[in-house]
């Protein structure tokens, strides 16, 4: 393992394919035994919301976040960002933690690579 890969995702879900591709890459990196941490900022906090109803055949980002967590990645949502959107911690898929900017700062300081989506 070559250090920790830190993903910072700030794009809204379903507006474009950046969040989808970020989660795909995160899962692939975990599959090759890479340590992965994902921090969701701004509108991206909605990626981790439970109960998303997507059209048949369309990817479900909430399910993808859950899959990334189950595969071994750590995922946090920005606490300030969820508060600004009227969301509560219990609205997120299992395993998602509420984080602070200080958490992200530590991840960036300790991470070997930072990927921004």
| CA distances in angstroms from 19 to 1, 25, 110, listed in the order given | 24, 10, 23
Can you give the pLDDT at residue 58? 87
The range of the structural domain enclosing residue 94 comes to 35-43+61-110
Query: What percentage of the chain has pLDDT greater than the value 70?
Result: 98
pTM equals 0.95
In contact, 67 and 27? CB cutoff 8 Å: yes
Does any domain span residue 16? no
In contact, 7 and 115? CB cutoff 8 Å: yes
> Which pairs count as long-range contacts for 99-102, CB under 8 Å and 24+ apart, including other chains?
99/39
What's the CATH number where 84 sits? 3.40.1260.10
**Pairwise CA distance, residues 23 & 61, whole Å:** 8
Tens-digit pLDDT profile for residues 31-42: 999 999 999 999
């Amino acid at each position: 393992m070559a250090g920790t890969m830190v993903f910072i995702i700030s794009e809204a879900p379903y507006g474009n394919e950046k969040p989808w591709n970020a989660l795909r890459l995160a899962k692939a990196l975990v599959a090759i035994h890479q340590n992965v941490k994902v921090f969701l900022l701004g509108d991206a906090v909605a990626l981790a919301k439970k109960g998303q109803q997507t059209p048949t055949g369309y990817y479900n980002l909430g399910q993808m976040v859950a899959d990334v967590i189950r595969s071994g990645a750590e995922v946090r949502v920005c606490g300030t960002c969820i508060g600004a959107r009227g969301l509560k911690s219990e609205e997120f898929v299992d395993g998602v933690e509420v984080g602070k900017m200080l958490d992200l700062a530590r991840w960036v300081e300790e991470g070997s690579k930072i990927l921004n989506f």
